[in-house]
Structure 1
Amino acid sequence: MTAEETILAGARLVLPSGVVEDGRLAFSGGTITGIGGPRAAGDLDLTALDLTGFTVVPGFVDLHVHGGGGASYASGSAEEALVAARTHLEHGTTTTVASTVTGEIDEVCRQAAVLSELVEDGVLAGVHFEGPFISPGRCGAHRPDLLREPDPALVRKLVDAARGTARMVTLAPELPGGLESVRMLADLGVIAAVGHTDCDYTKTLEAVDAGATVATHLFNAMPSINHRAPGPIVALLEDERVTVELINDGVHLHPSVLDLAYGAAGAERVALITDAMGAAGMGDGLYPLGPLQVRVEDGVARLVEGGSIAGSTLTLDVAFKRSVLVNKLSLTQTVRSISTNPAALLGLSDSIGSLAVGKNADLAVFDSETYDLVAVVRRGEWITGAERFSSGS
């Protein structure tokens, strides 16, 4: 061990190859430098930290989050964006794509410019535009009068405003310009996501053929499954080219519906997201979501006007715990959905998304019995929980 190296010993490690009990993981300079099984007999490395009774997984990757800690990414304020990112970081999300909400095009462009600077600084991993190119009939917590048809020129204007940091655009492909915009986004290397849509089954498949690869919070803000009109849900679940976002907060989806999605798509095509707004990590009360007001009661966010669900108050450590304890997913399935798959979608698998030598030392540490989060490490820096562990393993 070098003087700068940290060794975690005795932990359960969730690796791409499976779960290793009594494992050892070393990191130095922000990078994982070693992974192994139990120490050899006579190895008395007293500098290792004892993580017996704890489970170590790769830091979470959230593709879709609007805010947290009382702050919003749609505020246009770098200070608020930093608060939101820090809040989710303390809950295990070491890689964040910041999501905007529907607003005036020029205002959303201004927000994107602010967020792009934080991407360049390494705080965020990109920008996701959710709206304004969505269906008026499925707008949810987006202001209807600000919605726009996905004219490729307008879509390109938002993407350009992000100065190379746009990672995803959610749109309704059935609207005029929708399929053309999907093709343009695919050509630009930006994820086209189907969401807030009234698409039927056939139009959804056309969007996938045009290059759409993500379903924005599947089941929510789209037509339900009908036995004679399967709609977008069935099309998105059955197509192997599509990754489906799921919000596992117990509010957006009944546990059996989440189980259904896993049964249809498999863990290799699920990305667990928060879709969190500013109340994540906070208490009940009134919060802004773009130009709208949201009331949070008992942890559920709804628009003050109309009562529609308005994002979530979820953090990904809670989604992890629910996935394991409520949905009975395996640790490897959960890690794949919450870290590995979204990292791959972002093209960042070489550095994040799994525990492997040479990748970033982005770690979330859970109690192995309760699955409560106890520590977070990002790029080798202890964000929370370092005081929990002692050397002398």
Structure 2
Amino acid sequence: MSSSVRIHLSENELPAGVRKNSIVFATSDGYAIAVKDKSEAEKLLVIQKAGRKLEQLGIESVEFAGDDWTKDAQWAFSIGFIDTLNKGDVSFTGDAADELTAMHESFAWVRELVNLPPSEIFPEALCERVVSELSKVGGKAVSHRLVVGPELLAEKRMGIHTVGRASQHPPAMLELDYNPTGNDKAEVDFALIGKGITFDTGGYSIKSSEGMVSMKCDMGGAATVAGALMLAIRQGLNKRVKLILCCAENMIDGSAYKNGDIITYKDGQTVEVVNTDAEGRLVLADGLIRAGELGAKRIIDAATLTGAAQVAVGKEYNALFSVDDSYAEEALATAKKEQENLWRLPLAPWHQFQCPSPFADTANSRPQKGGGTGGASNAAGFLLRFAPNQGAGWLHFDLAAAYHGQSNSLFAAGATATGVRTIASLLNA
């Protein structure tokens, strides 16, 4: 006999004795979620909230009862039901059960990576975990190279080395190759680039204590693109993808980089550092340069890059930037299909010049709190300087929805893995 709690969807009126506007109520054999007279979007929101409520009741295992549980409904419930430590067992059902299981396991892995304490996830440790997990799903199609510490200088990955050189844990760039073609000369269909700042003090532009509490999540971009590649492989990906993780700890000691320093990148561009807490764009620049060297047809980067994006779209949406309108529209349509919130914010070629410097080609920010007005677009404009082909075929995800410091009605505290489904679907398009 199953020990799982049975969960129904109810299109009926609330039973007598149940408070008006309740979304979940007990039944003779489990619980029911009230979805009467709800649109499809409203229904999914109610189901996710019900998942959170049932998890908070201490229920450990559920199974879906009845024939009304669509793929999207099951997924919405599972996102709400799983807690911070990935507890909560969901038994998926129907034709989409295997697909949902793959999604569930990929999301759980991403959440685990992001939620681990920074003592366990430093640059090389993050890279090693990613290689290990993707090798399990990709088998012989996966190979990799890891560039660490002084090796970064030899390869002129100046942004990653500069940001990470003050840490006892050396900075690293992971280049993982998923090549199911078996042809070493096959074209690279996609480059996925992730910001892997495993802890961010802000450097000499130091954060407040409360601002540092959640900074283990600053490698959320690396975890998101790695998780998206994992999911895409499990969904049958047959394209060559290069995963580039730009990893560092932004720490402080006598060797740390300082405001006023100039970084000269491999492509010759110079950058004045006016804010050491605007470090994510400095490491991603190396990844974008590498994507250009590889001749990748399409490039997607993801990063917990700016607080300005959260100010604009909140923590319920990720922000999208691109100067390639058709590709941006494809991404927005894909996110809608995958039930993930994504909103496009402005990016034009002139955003490249929004952070001027009298001493270098550009500064890495403006010398104002949060980078001043338009901070998220200006950060994207900085990245556009390094994107191959003047940004054609390039998408930048600013992951405003990647992490919640506290639980809410939809998500447990910690990582959400929002964005994984969208990016995986783009890879398989």
TM-score (norm. length: structure 2): 0.29
- Rg larger in structure: 2
- The one of the two structures with greater contact order (alpha-carbon pairs below 8 A, sep at least 6) is 1
